[in-house]
Amino acid sequence: MAAMFEKVALIGVGLIGSSMAHAIKRGKLASHVSGYARRAETLEKARKVGFADSLYDTLEPVVKDADLVVLATPVGTYGELAKDIAPYLKKGAIVSDVGSVKSAVIRDAGPHIPAGVHFVPAHPIAGTEQSGPEAGFAELFDGRWCILTPPAGTDAAAIEKLKSFWQALGSQVDVMDAHHHDLVLAITSHVPHLIAYNIVGTAADLETVTQSEVIKYSAGGFRDFTRIAASDPTMWRDVFLNNREAVLEMLTRFNEDLSALQRAIRWGDGDALFNLFTRTRAIRRSIISAGQDSAAPNFGRIPPKPEKNQ
Amino acid sequence: MAAMFEKVALIGVGLIGSSMAHAIKRGKLASHVSGYARRAETLEKARKVGFADSLYDTLEPVVKDADLVVLATPVGTYGELAKDIAPYLKKGAIVSDVGSVKSAVIRDAGPHIPAGVHFVPAHPIAGTEQSGPEAGFAELFDGRWCILTPPAGTDAAAIEKLKSFWQALGSQVDVMDAHHHDLVLAITSHVPHLIAYNIVGTAADLETVTQSEVIKYSAGGFRDFTRIAASDPTMWRDVFLNNREAVLEMLTRFNEDLSALQRAIRWGDGDALFNLFTRTRAIRRSIISAGQDSAAPNFGRIPPKPEKNQ
């Protein structure tokens, strides 16, 4: 059977790019995978892991002759990159991306895509708190959702091809409007990251509780937030700068609800607290039934090695 | 070798009580473990699992002759329970608890403890999002911290004995003032739970994003919060009602910091975002080095079974 693509170009070989490369190899989805990284250090790491057939720090050789070009760097770089790769894009190629925001990508990269090249933005909803070429693995997308947000008028065959590609990478695929995607992700991903970063910052800055206490006693809940707050800073800065409206809208609602809880605590309204705390359990159960998380307690997390007993 | 205690009485056999029973059996720390539950259904479940030597729905037979009595129900019940067990407490016995707040426990239960009985409040910082007698397991406390908050003047030998007991259950033990404990836990546990409950509630109430979308696309970060927001509602209601001051203080700081982040997003201040996001990574690393979480990406969570591909 012929591979799905002759050549796939990955512009960026961090967690997502390198995981795509591994999954492409696993599924034999391309005859050649080329990779681009700006920094020599990143290229060297990628070379050592060995998931790409060719690696360069310039765009031309990476993009040349590719049937599929995927932008997999922080979303703030997409406009510039799209402009820079445009001269080398093959007629009929698909340009896609993996950015966590989609309206901004269409706004920034869209205008640079030449006629005859198909632009199909995508967002695989998968990741870990780690980053870089050594963090990738083939199973990252298995069972996860990937959302495509093609602008109106995009070639139907190109959409279909990218859909099959993501299914072959292990994902389930949905197609939706970019604006709606950005709203959904603001609540399911962006605001959760923001409040995780925020509480870890708040805890670090206290004078009444030392940082060492925060670390020692983190098993009560805080440690879960630190995982999310260990995600790649550049990627997340760009997400917030590029999904401003939706994040601010969701944040306003979060704050309103939090004020109500704060008031319930101040006035000792136990029923209000109990009612919310009961309602939220149902959502957890639905996420587990939908196959989006493990039912094992504590995520079935690998037990850390205990420190020597005092 | 003689067991550490002749008889340990567990007032409450939910996640924590049943895990203590399992760990007591594992370490052969008591000749007899008695358990109390108010509801017949809970007693029946506890009987089926079989971690206790005797089980009753009345307090007298559970507490009688016990060397150690541990309150392991939601903290809102401790005052009443302490009053009810007082007549049956053996001279020289230790009364302890496992509550997540400590000043309120000393305030509510303390006055009922008879002379000649030692009151040593304790808080094992361990748990999962599950509850009930079937959720317990012997390893829950391994490598976790347990904080003792004995009031001034508590018998030193009783403190030492309870410390050895928790070490034998697998924990590391610290002793601190109850007020300070409540501040530390407000930031490492109570406020994280509150904001997790809150964002799950916010997400459920949106009109622009459906609940089914929230569930499908939760792998972007939200699903981690739903685990915490699936914790026992009664236990957590009581925590917030009984650690009001410290929670409100920490919540005020959290809100101030979140307003600053919100402003940075509104005005496009990428540096402010990047700086915070970089700082928080270091805290994650420290928690892993301290043995309080797994270094594996995504907590090394067990991969959920994917839904059938569309």
Nearest 5°: CA angle at A288, between A284 and A293?
100
pLDDT band at residue A300 under the 50/70/90 scheme: confident
Report residue B225 as tokens: 């919060």
End-to-end CA distance of chain A: 62
pLDDT in tens, B292-309: 998 999 988 866 554 443
Asked whether B27 and B169 are in contact (CB, 8 A), the reply is: yes
pLDDT in tens, B182-237: 999 999 999 999 999 999 999 999 989 999 999 999 989 999 999 999 999 999 99
**Chain A closest-CA separation from residue B89 CA (Å):** 31
In the numeric block, the tokens 């928080």 are attached to B280
pLDDT value of position A304: 58
Task: Tell me how far apart the 2 most distant CA atoms of chain A are, in Å.
Answer: 68
Helices (H) and strands (E) in chain A, counts: 13, 9
**Burial per residue of A235-264, b for 16 or more beta-carbon CB atoms within 10 angstroms, e otherwise:** bbbbbbbbbbebbebbbebbbebbeebbeb
The domain ranges of chain A are 5-176, 180-300
pLDDT value of position B300: 85
The chain-wide mean pLDDT, for chain A, equals 95
Chain A contact set for B293 (CB, 8 A): 218-219, 223, 226-227, 301, 304
B303–A contact, CB cutoff 8 A: yes
Please classify residue A65 by burial: count the beta carbons closer than 10 Å to its beta carbon, then call 0-12 exposed, 13-18 middle and 19+ buried: middle
Query: For the structural domain made of A180-300, what CATH number should be given?
Result: 1.10.3660.10
pLDDT value of position A305: 52
pLDDT value of position A2: 80
Which ranges of chain A does DSSP label H, i.e. alpha helix? 15-27, 40-49, 59-63, 78-85, 103-108, 156-168, 178-185, 191-205, 211-216, 222-228, 233-242, 244-266, 270-289
Give the residues across from A94 on adjacent strands: A68, A118
pLDDT band at residue A310 under the 50/70/90 scheme: very low
B209–A contact, CB cutoff 8 A: yes
How far apart (Å, rounded) are the C-alpha atoms in residues A93 and A105?
A: 18
pLDDT value of position B215: 95
Asked whether B129 and B169 are in contact (CB, 8 A), the reply is: no
Q: Residue A19's closest CA among A41, A46, A40?
A: A46
Cβ under 8 Å to B: A residues 80-99: none
Query: What mean pLDDT is predicted for residues A39-55?
Result: 98
End-to-end CA distance of chain B: 62
Chain A contact set for B240 (CB, 8 A): 264-265, 273
Domains B5-176 and B180-300 belong to one CATH topology:
no
CB contact under 8 A, B258 and A230: no
Q: Is the pLDDT of residue A171 over 90?
A: yes
Of A183, A193, A304, the CB nearest to B208: A183
Query: What mean pLDDT is predicted for residues A50-56?
Result: 98
Q: Which helix (H) or strand (E) holds B278?
A: helix B270-289
A142 CB neighbour count, 10 Å cutoff: 18
Q: A5-176 is classed in which CATH architecture?
A: 3-Layer(aba) Sandwich (3.40)
Q: Residue B124's closest CA among B180, B167, B161?
A: B167
Cα B281 versus chain centre, distance: 26
Per-residue pLDDT tens listing for chain B (310 residues): 688 999 999 999 999 999 999 999 999 999 999 999 999 999 999 999 999 999 999 999 999 999 999 999 999 999 999 999 999 999 999 999 999 999 999 999 999 999 999 999 999 999 999 999 999 999 999 999 999 999 999 999 999 999 999 999 999 999 999 999 999 999 999 999 999 999 999 999 998 999 999 999 998 999 999 999 999 999 999 999 999 999 999 999 999 999 999 999 999 999 999 999 999 999 999 999 999 998 999 988 866 554 443 3
